[in-house]
Amino acid sequence: MAGDIILEDEEENILYDLLINTEWPSETDTQLRGLKEHSSSIIAKAVTGPFRFILHYLWYSPSSSTLPPGLVRLATKTLNWQLVLASNGKLLAVVQDQCVEIRSARDDFGSIIGKCQVPKDPNPHWRRVAWSHDCALLAYADSTGTVRVFDLMGSELFVIPPAMSFPGDFSYAAAGLMFLEYTASAQWSAELLVITYSGQLKSYLVSVGTNQAFQENHTFSFSAHYSNGITTAIYHPGHREMFFSKTEHKIIRHKVPQSLDNTFDQIRFFPVSSAPHGPLQPHELLLVGGCESGDSDVSRASRCGITAWRSQRRGFFRMPSFRVFSRHNTEQDGVFRMSLSPDGTVLAVIHFSGSLSLWDIPSFKLRGSWKQEEQPGFDEINPEWKTSLEKRKKIKDKEQYQSLLDVSWWSETALILARCSGALTVSSVRTLKNLLGKSCEWFETSPRVTSAHDGGFLSLECEVKLAHKRSRLESSVTGEEDDGDDDSDSDEESSAKARYFGYVKQGLYYVTEMERFAPPRKRPRTVIKNYRLVSLRSTTPEELYQRKIDNEEYGEALSLAQAYGLDSDLVYQRQWRKSTVSIASIQDYLSKIKKRSWVLHECVERVPENVDAAKRAPAIRSERNGP
């Protein structure tokens, strides 16, 4: 388990260790099967087209299906649970089905210090959580856009309802949720920004304690720049004063370095209220991601869907406008995830297409870009899939497991990359070389990761196993269709004619919901889920060596001893002490220990259990004393 840490001129090996911090009790889930993504064929779309047009176009805001297809495809691959580490690395929020656990780093996040109760969300992929700057507050936004604010004990302080909400419309869910420090008035503890996928921003002033309350402070719409809404947004706390001047809260062009001046259009203003302080101070940035733009007159970052915004105290007001959201025949690429480096100078971006790009901040100069097929190890498959009948089926559709799903930072010069396949690497920002060694570290599919703190980071994974299937007699009694061992939901029709009528029936059922058009019921799949919180930490050879011995991983311990010149006697001494005295243990362990005095002491103190072993012990003692 060796890898690399990037230095200025060379790449050196990292030694790391994996530890399971917490493993939650298994939970059983039932997954319904029937109409899936494969049924959205050309024929089905033709049947339902007019109805979908009415739903999608005459509504003033985008429904779930008008969100970028790339965003929906990747978002639905993520885990239902989430984890969010506070900026100081001391607190962790674990978002579960009906609660948010608050855990502390004091015991390696092993115990719960607070639990926030939340309603079960039928669409958990669209939830979002954020810590306040002082880690005293936790905001939780569900798929409808409803925001709940809790304290560290898990007590719900207040609920902020969404402006509008319709079933199945995720455009009101939070694409960005962040707390800002607020010092203009002692009445308010913090400022909370809620940015929806439709591109609407709302700022709230929140107060805790005896006068806990919230007040709407400011609104803004990004729709003029992002006609299809936005996909993500993150907050940049500030820059060095060399980039910005606080004088009259404006950018002073002669103080801007050349690299920033070349892409000056990237630093945009958004209007603020007449309050003494707007949502963002002049030296702070709001980084927004959306779909790519075909406008050739803007910078490269804008064409890729990335823009930076900052407030101007004396700005113009722009009222949110209701408009028809356009749809495109061809799928657009766009921004799925963004992550800032620890020093705030580099932005890492995952795109719908699976590409990874790095941008200098605030100049937005492209530092590096890799298409999915250019990324080292993008098509690797977990070796365990080949030996498991259940998981071997995933190899048939391995392309859908190759996408990057999460990105974070190990250091200013190394990225943490997680793929849908479960492959996790710490990669060089220069070459994307895996810094964990020759192979990636394999987790369960779609792991979530945090940024590194104190030489390590946390990952959340979920192991999913199929429960034992019911008997055929039981299935026949319920009238459900048993599709054998095929869990891919991709049954092949016997002919093109059968497929045609199957699609037509599915389209009619989608429109009318009449049972006569309903497809054959498939037996719901019962799965068992095991969630685990795992930490990957850098370590010294000595620490890892001792841990391997304590865990009785003697083979790996001997490999470390050989690689780093450590005392292999510690391994053989532990094995000798844990075994009975016999000819085999004498030959395998005692005879390999190089410290003569220790061997002689053992020959005197430990009495063999049989005569042959008793005869062998003096021979070892003689060998250690010499002729």
Peptide bond into 362 cis (omega under 30): yes
pLDDT for position 587? 84
Indicate the pTM of the whole model. 0.77
pLDDT at 462 over 90: yes
pLDDT for position 591? 86
Cα(72)–Cα(372) distance, rounded to whole angstroms? 18
Cα(617)–Cα(613) distance, rounded to whole angstroms? 6
At 623, is the pLDDT very low, low, confident or very high (cuts 50, 70, 90)?
low
Q: How far is CA 196 from CA 158, 180, 201, 213, 404, in A?
A: 19, 17, 7, 22, 23
What's the token pair of residue 14?
Answer: 């990292």
Q: Name the residue among 285, 305, 275, 311 with its Cα closest to residue 293.
A: 305
Q: Find residue 16's DSSP bridge partners.
A: 538
Could you tell me which residues come within 8 angstroms of residue 402 by beta carbon, excluding any fewer than 6 positions away? 354, 372, 378, 379, 419, 420, 421
Q: What is the DSSP string of 465-524?
A: EEPPPPPHHHHHHHTPBP-TT--SS-PPPSSHHHHHHHHHHHHHHHHH--GGGPPPPBPP
Find where tokens 């049972």 sit: 515
Task: Kindly report, residue by residue over 40-88, the tens digit of the pLDDT.
Answer: 333 334 444 444 444 444 444 444 447 899 999 999 999 999 999 999 9
Q: Find residue 12's DSSP bridge partners.
A: 5
pLDDT at 38 over 50: no
Cα(436)–Cα(441) distance, rounded to whole angstroms? 8
Could you tell me which residues come within 8 angstroms of residue 569 by beta carbon, excluding any fewer than 6 positions away? 593, 594, 595, 598
Average pLDDT over residues 598-609: 78
pLDDT at 492 over 80: no
What's the token pair of residue 11?
Answer: 């790449």
CA angle 359, 352, 340 (to 5 degrees): 30
Task: Kindly report, residue by residue over 475-484, the tens digit of the pLDDT.
Answer: 444 545 544 4
Average pLDDT of the chain to the nearest whole number: 78
Task: Kindly report, residue by residue over 324-359, the tens digit of the pLDDT.
Answer: 344 444 678 999 999 999 999 999 999 999 999 999
